[in-house]
Each structure stands twice: as structure tokens, then as C-alpha cells.
Chains A and B, each alone.
Chain A
Amino acid sequence: MEFHFSEENLSKLSGVFSKYPNKKAAVMPVLYIAQEQNGYISNEVISEVSKVCEITEEEVMGVVTFYTMYHQTKPGKYHIQVCTNVSCMLRDGFEIYDAVKEKLGISNHGVTGDGLFSLEEVECMGSCGTAPMIAVNEDFHENLTKELTLQILDNLKQV
């Protein structure tokens, strides 16, 4: 599918470019803007970003594949990120991860058939003091139990 930045996002881009001495340096924020508009980073997005940042498509691809927060496939409407790193693990992070996997019927990086949920096992999110935690898209849910987590998923289904 073709990709072009919307008018609104084009004006955002000029704000982003003004932070850096060259356009290449803006590739990360530009990719975020593109991902927000398109839902994920497709090849067409890479091509467009390479044009506006004046770098090769390979360079853009290099950045996209280095960072976990750029998605090359479409995630679910609710992207569920479960932390299983040590502080969460010590407080049942793996039990929560397994429960989410079972409930959604998908494994790491899977997307449910209806496109509602996707799942990612993530590294420490900086919530160790309020562990265990999951993130739903950009929002952190902390001090969880298995029950609370499943309830969050149920609530999202009903929205």
C-alpha cells in the first residue's frame, strides 16, 4: 500500500527536523510519526522516510530493524507487552505471561485472529518497584496479579 505523510504530519516533520543539524538524525522521530499514521513500518513507509530524511532505504531499514519499538508487521489494536525480567519474574511475571498467552491463544509476537490483541514478551520496562507489570500500547499497568491482568484483557475486549 502506498504511503505518504498526511498534511498534519508533514508540518510535524518540520518541527522534528529543526531539532537536529541534519535530516538523517531525525530518522527515529520521523519513523515514529510514520508508524503512528500507518500502524506499522511497511516497505512503502521505509521508502518515503528515506526520501524525507535524504538517506538510503537500506539505512532506514538498518534503523528499523535495530530497535524493538518499530513494528514491521501490523500489531493488534491492543499491543500487550508483558515484562518477564528479573524483578517482575520474582513477583510472578512468568505466570502472568503464561496466563496472557493462554487467554489470547497466541505466542510471542502473535496477533489474534480478530486483530484485537498482539503479544510481546518485553525486557525490563523500568517498573521493577511496582512489579509485575504489563503495558497496553503506551500505558503501564503495575502491581498486577494474574487475576487483575486477565481482567484488564476482558475490559479491553468490551470497549
Chain B
Amino acid sequence: MWTKERIVLPLIENLHEIEVYKKNGGYQNAKKAFALHPDEVIDTVKKSGLRGRGGAAFSAGLKWSFMPKSTDKPKYLCINGDESEPGSFKDRQIFEYNPHQLIEGVLIACHAIGANIAYVYIRGEYHKWIKLFQKALDDAYAAGYVGAGMKNTFGTDFKVEIYVHKGAGAYICGEESSLMNSIEGHRGYPRVKPPFPAQKGLWGCPTTINNVETLANVPVIIDKGWEWFSSIGSPKHPGTILYGVSGHVNKPGVYELPSGTLLTDIIYNYAGGVPGDKKIKCVIPGGSSMPPLRGDSLEGIKMDADSLKEAGSSIGTAGIMVMDEDTDLIAVLARITAFYYHESCGQCTPCREGTGWMLKILKRMARGNATKKDLDLLVSVANNIDGNTICALGEAAAWPVKFMVQRFRDEFESKMKDEIEIAVPNKVHSMRDTVNPIASITI
């Protein structure tokens, strides 16, 4: 049943089957929402305090209210299931265990913003989960909950078509404007904002983009009311959150818990603590783009957007990566940077080149061939990326570097030499091999 602890992944066996979902009141909340004026639905979601679960924690109701009320253009909803942020593996749980609640959330959101077409963007590697979701969608179509059948089922003139768009292996397509370009059949280049998607989105039409988990919350908010939802967890970031715990823990996995649960509680009580009872050196609390925290500073940190901001990090996708005391942080940071180097779309020079330069320096550090000066050089490259790019991948690449070095300076410095030899001292050039960009990445 849906409780204050379990909103998105309730403990109901076989809930992914449409019959089971129906038996538990499924698709009744869409019916309830369709009877309300769209503004009332937006108002309810706004008051509930629901914030986006895709990374930026922006108010879902507020985002919906940006959609123009009167327009002669079609309006679109995009559902972001790209889930490619390292450390994130929560949306796939929804595709697998509760797809109908997502579909119902899509219907309600479409009603609220006045969209008749929704695209569910799922990363291409999720073959299995695309099939599982498509099966649920086909069943919902067959039962008249989606598409032409809605007229009969719900007794309204309102109709929604939901299509799955399969990604093809590009992290950047999780960025909302890149995602839209990808659906339009372009290379997945992020767009300059403004204009924002609510003004000019898919094919230049008003568009809202929401994360899978965000929308899966919506039917329950309609069912139980905004007061109920807003009373769960942290008042400014209410509801439950799907925390994904990975790395050095005994029981990695996805845990749905109220927002604001203590980070140490999640790691030690739910995820079973660290193997061998080792100490924790470092935790990344929201997927690899977010600033890493020191293991000796975790006490009292609550897992919600505002508390983490105060602690010097960010909730991101709530993907918690735990590293024990024996972890080589230079190797970890080099691997993180290799990821952003590989995934940079290449539009902005600071991101395209800067990620390569950082990787070059970090690889040299990993080989033990660097001085303290290189640490400053590394941070200065990161600073020159931060804030100077079209999309937030720039920051995503810069933050781990800046904050890892700042917070673990002692460890980095202990591995630096006083003097080094560099084979070709002044050779500054792009690392990019345009013929086969991936082959050149080795750590």
C-alpha cells in the first residue's frame, strides 16, 4: 500500500501488471484529475512541494505553470529516463516495478499543462527496461487508459499519445535541451537558454521536461492530497526520495526513504555499513557531478536539497557513492574526469578542451609524476570551465575536481613531488582524436 514511507515503490506484489495496478485503485487518480481544472492540478502539485528528482530539485508545479495557457501550437511533455549520471540507478526501478504509476503521472501532467503528446526518453542501454515499460504502455493502450480509448474510459475529450524514444549512448542527452534535440533527430547538442523549453521546446513548441521519479509521485499526490505529501520528510523538499547507494557498502541498492533521512543512517543502517568495518574516506551524495564530501564530515548531514547545499554539496540524483579509507582518490577523480571528457558534446571550448586538460594532468598525477603546482593548475582549469559553458555539464566536470582537491588537499599533496620531468614541456594541444575518441582514454 501507498504509505508515507513508500510512495513511488510501494510494497505490492506484481504491481507492474496492469490488473494488479487497477485493483489497487490504479488510473482512478487520472480520472480524478481530469475532473479538475488544469490550474487546480498545478496548484495542488505546487502546494505539495514536489521538487524535481532529475538533479536540479526545481518545483514541479511551478515548472508546469510556465507553460503558456493559450497557444495555437501543440504542447509536449518529455519524460526524462536517460539516467546516465554515474551512481544513479533509480528510474529503472520504476520502469520495472511500477510503470503504470509513471504512465498515470504522465497523463495527469499532460492534463495540467495541456499536452497531447508525451515522449518518454529512455537510455539506449536499458534494452530490458525499455521492453518492460513498452509492455506496460501497450497494456495501458489496450485498456483504454492512453490514446483514443481515453474518451470511453474516462469520459473526456482529452487524449494523450505516449511514445518511447530510445537513446543511443550519450550522457549529455539527459540534459533537457539536448534531449529535445535528440528526439528531433539531431546530434544531442544542448541549446542556449533562454528561450526556455516552456516557450520554445520540441520543434519550437511549448514543452515541459520532467524526470521519471518526479512524475511517478504525482498520482499519489492527487490521491492523498497536497497536505499529506507536504508533511513527509523535510518541509522544503518533501516526499520520499529513491536513494541509490553504491560502492563500498555491504548492501548496495535503491532505498526509498523520506527526504531528509540522515546520510549516515542510509549508509550504516539501510546499506549495511562498509565491508570490513573500514572507515569512510569520501562520499559523493548525488551522482558523480556533485561535490564530494569528506568521510569525517558526514555526521548530521540530512539528505535533502537544502541540507546538502548547506553541507557544501548537492542532492543531484541522490546516487550515493561510498568510498572506504583505502580508496585512491586520484584514480577516482581521474576516472570521473575521463567520463566528462568522453561525454562532453564539444560545443563549448572550455568544456571540450578543459576536460581533456584536466584528464591529462590527473593521469600524470596518478602516475606519480606531478608537483604541487600541478594541483593549482588543475584547479585553475576547473575554474575556467565553471560558469563559462552552454550547459551544466561544464559544472558537472569542474565541481568534482575543485571540491575533491579542496577537501582532500592533504592526500593529493602527499602524492606530489618537488620536481618532475615532462617529456614535451610546452606542448599544449587537444587530446581529441577525432577518428576514434574513445580509444585514447586509458587510465
- The answer to whether A67 and B89 have CB atoms under 8 Å apart is no
- The answer to whether A108 and B438 have CB atoms under 8 Å apart is yes
Beyond A69-B167, A86-B247, A90-B321: 20 further Cβ-contacts under 8 Å? A19-B165, A27-B185, A32-B168, A66-B345, A85-B335, A86-B332, A90-B247, A90-B248, A90-B327, A90-B332, A122-B125, A123-B84, A123-B171, A123-B343, A124-B86, A126-B88, A127-B89, A128-B86, A128-B319, A129-B244
Chain A, interface size category, equals 35 or more
Enumerate chain B residues within 8 angstroms of A25, measured Cβ to Cβ. Answer: 183-185
B85 at the interface (CB under 8 A from A): yes
A135 at the interface (CB under 8 A from B): yes
A-B interface pairs (CB < 8 A), number: 144
Enumerate chain B residues within 8 angstroms of A86, measured Cβ to Cβ. Answer: 86-87, 247, 284, 288, 321, 332, 335-336
A91 to B321, CA, bound (A): 12
- The answer to whether B83 and A28 have CB atoms under 8 Å apart is no
Encode A104-132 as 1/0 by CB contact (under 8 A) with B.
00011100000000001111111111110
Using a CB–CB cutoff of 8 Å, the interface residues on chain B facing chain A are: 83-89, 92, 123-128, 163, 165-171, 182-188, 203, 244-248, 252-254, 284, 288, 319, 321, 323, 327, 331-332, 335-336, 339, 342-343, 345, 436, 438-439, 441-442
A28 to B123, CA, bound (A): 12
- The answer to whether A128 and B187 have CB atoms under 8 Å apart is no
CB distance from B189 to the nearest CB of A (A): 8
A153 to B254, CA, bound (A): 29
- Determine which of B170, B184, B323, B339 lies in contact with A124 in the assembled complex, contact meaning CB atoms within 8 Å: B339
A148 to B62, CA, bound (A): 49
Encode A1-23 as 1/0 by CB contact (under 8 A) with B.
00000000000000000011100
Q: A86-B321, A86-B335, A87-B247 are in contact. Are A28 and B185 (CB under 8 A)?
A: yes
Q: A66-B187, A69-B169 are in contact. Are A129 and B125 (CB under 8 A)?
A: no
- The answer to whether B438 and A109 have CB atoms under 8 Å apart is yes
Q: Tell which of B87, B246, B253 has the most Cβ of chain A within 10 Å.
A: B246
- The answer to whether B246 and A128 have CB atoms under 8 Å apart is yes
The chain A residue with its CB closest to the CB of B163 is: A19
12 sampled A-B residue pairs with Cβ under 8 A = A20-B183, A24-B184, A26-B185, A67-B188, A70-B168, A87-B252, A90-B327, A121-B438, A124-B339, A126-B92, A129-B244, A131-B246
